[in-house]
Amino acid sequence: MRGSVWGMAVALGLAVFAGPVLADGGDIARGRYLLNGIVACGNCHATRGPQGEVIPGQELAGGFAIELPEFRAVAPNITPDRETGIGAWTDTQIVAAIREGKRPDGSIIGPPMPIEFYRDMSDSDVRAIVAALRSAPPVRHAVEKSKFNIPLPPAYGPPVTHVPDVPRQNQVGYGRYLATVGHCLECHTPRVKGRLDEAHLGAGGRELPAPAGGVLLSPNLTRANPDGMARWTDAQVKATLRTGVRPDGRQLVRLMAFDWYKTMRDDDMNALVAYLRTLKPVKN
Ligand code: HEC
Ligand code: HEC
């Protein structure tokens, strides 16, 4: 099974895109699972309609604008279209864009693309995502440029060379890995002077642009929040993540990527929740 998917990745890469392919390919099925689930690149990179709904067929075609005082960031088209997307980039260049925030021309990708988290994406997962991106239909859609009122860093850190897979047998460790590639704590952690406040990991209170305008505060996921997931059973947390409806019936705003999380496997959900339960209780 795995072998044939791998074979297909290579065949597709060569036959359809005729572009450079990583020597050892990437597992398309795994890549699609991540892309359509926990990693949810499309939560930012989809084209959206007036109600914030994803336009069918444009799941990766870009154009969604995220506005904060620091920037008006517009997520680019990441379909394999050669002119308006990333079809002309090599696999190595796409990997560098995801894990290091670097474009082929050397320029830096700005926030809110969560590069600090993607730096920890394993070599096999980042290759799988590239294979899945390449297998998506190219969509011609030119997107306006972002505008930043803050200086961008010269780099997000030293080059990322080798990131091993996290073993699934380590449930909490694997859950932490899923939360990282899903950048849960990017949204659910406050910032001090623009940097993630590590002492308040998961404590919420991050100001985020609400899709309908205005500012939304992310909730505290730690046990210090008496009105949040600390009181919910694992089944209730999993149902909330998949449906976007809290146990008390309140519908969560579509900034949370539950439309993607609903495709996650149960064992992955269990690992994610097991990790979230280990967050240090911090008030905010
Ligand atoms: C939180 C929102 C967000 C998420 C999630 C996100 N991105 Fe981005 N991404 C952006 C924004 C915004 C930009 C443009 C930033 C700029 O203009 O400097 C960008 C830029 C890029 C670029 C550069 C494209 C170009 O033409 O310049 C690539 C490639 C990319 N993202 C791929 C991905 C992939 C693959 C994922 C999932 C693994 C992902 N992004 C997840 C917001 C996001
Ligand atoms: C783009 C930012 C963003 C990302 C990424 C994100 N969240 Fe959220 N999350 C929010 C916001 C904002 C809310 C509150 C929405 C509302 O109140 O309507 C929320 C709500 C929640 C809730 C409900 C908590 C409560 O007390 O009501 C849970 C649980 C949750 N998120 C867990 C996660 C997990 C786990 C991940 C990663 C798989 C994640 N979130 C990724 C922004 C985000």
- CATH code 3.40.50 for 171-276: no
Give the pLDDT of residue 51.
83
DSSP bridge pairs for 48: 54
Give the pLDDT of residue 133.
97
Tens digits of per-residue pLDDT, 216-273? 999 999 999 999 999 999 999 999 999 999 999 999 998 999 999 999 999 999 999 9
C-alpha Rg value of the chain to the nearest Å: 19
Q: If you measure from the C-alpha of residue 152 to the centroid of ligand 1, how many angstroms do you get, rounded to a whole number? A: 14
Q: Which residues are CB-neighbours of 14 under 8 A, at least 6 positions away?
A: 21
Tens digits of per-residue pLDDT, 127-167? 999 999 999 999 999 999 999 999 999 999 999 999 999 99
Q: Whose CA is nearest to atom 41 of ligand 2?
A: 184
Q: If you measure from the C-alpha of residue 280 to the centroid of ligand 1, how many angstroms do you get, rounded to a whole number? A: 30
Closest ligand to Cα 279? 2
Q: Give the residue extent of every domain in the chain.
A: 2-148, 171-276
Give the pLDDT of residue 202.
97
Give the pLDDT of residue 214.
83
Q: Whose CA is nearest to atom 26 of ligand 2?
A: 228
**Does the CB atom of residue 181 touch ligand 1 within 6 A?**
no
**Does the CB atom of residue 36 touch ligand 1 within 6 A?**
no
Q: If you measure from the C-alpha of residue 159 to the centroid of ligand 2, how many angstroms do you get, rounded to a whole number? A: 30
Tens digits of per-residue pLDDT, 182-208? 999 999 999 888 788 999 999 999 999
Q: If you measure from the C-alpha of residue 2 to the centroid of ligand 1, how many angstroms do you get, rounded to a whole number? A: 29
- What percent of the chain is predicted at pLDDT more than 90? 82
What is the pLDDT confidence band of residue 284, given thresholds at 50, 70 and 90?
A: confident
Tens digits of per-residue pLDDT, 90-99? 999 999 999 9
**Mean pLDDT, rounded, of the chain:** 91
Are the C-beta atoms of 174 and 157 separated by less than 8 Å? no
Give the pLDDT of residue 24.
55
Give the residues surrounding ligand 2 with Cβ less than 6 Å away. Answer: 38, 179, 182-184, 186-188, 208, 216, 218-219, 221, 228-229, 237, 240-241, 246, 252-253, 255-256, 261, 272, 276
Q: If you measure from the C-alpha of residue 123 to the centroid of ligand 1, how many angstroms do you get, rounded to a whole number? A: 18
Which of these, 156, 164, 204, lies nearest to 184 by C-alpha position?
204
118: number of Cβ within 10 Å:
25
Give the pLDDT of residue 10.
38
Give the pLDDT of residue 210.
83
Q: Which atom of ligand 1 is nearest to the CA of 121?
A: 38
Is pTM beyond 0.85? Reply is yes
Biggest CA–CA distance in the chain, Å, is 55
Q: If you measure from the C-alpha of residue 282 to the centroid of ligand 1, how many angstroms do you get, rounded to a whole number? A: 31
As a three-state string, the secondary structure of the chain is CHHHHHHHHHHHHHHHHCCCCCCCCCCHHHHHHHHCCCCCCHHHHCCECCCCCECCCCCCCCCCEEEECCEEEECCCCCCCCCCCCCCCCHHHHHHHHHHCECCCCCECCCCCCHHHHCCCCHHHHHHHHHHHHHCCCCCCCCCCCEECCCCCCCCCCCCCCCCCCCCCCHHHHHHHHHHHCCHHHHCCCEECCEECHHHCCCCCCEEECCCCCEEECCCCCCCCCCCHHHCCHHHHHHHHHHCECCCCCECCCCCCHHHHCCCCHHHHHHHHHHHCCCCCCCC
Candidate from 44, 115, 135 with most ligand 1 atoms within 8 A of CB, to mutate: 44
Candidate from 34, 48, 215, 218 with most ligand 2 atoms within 8 A of CB, to mutate: 218
Tens digits of per-residue pLDDT, 7-49? 343 344 333 443 334 435 789 999 999 999 999 999 999 999 9
Q: Which atom of ligand 1 is nearest to the CA of 112?
A: 1
Q: Which atom of ligand 1 is nearest to the CA of 34?
A: 38
Tens digits of per-residue pLDDT, 40-77? 999 999 999 988 889 999 999 999 999 988 999 999 99
Kindly compute the dihedral angle of the four CA atoms of residues 167, 173, 174, 177, in this order, to the nearest 10 degrees.
-120
Work out the end-to-end distance of the chain between its first and last CA atoms, rounded to an integer number of angstroms: 47
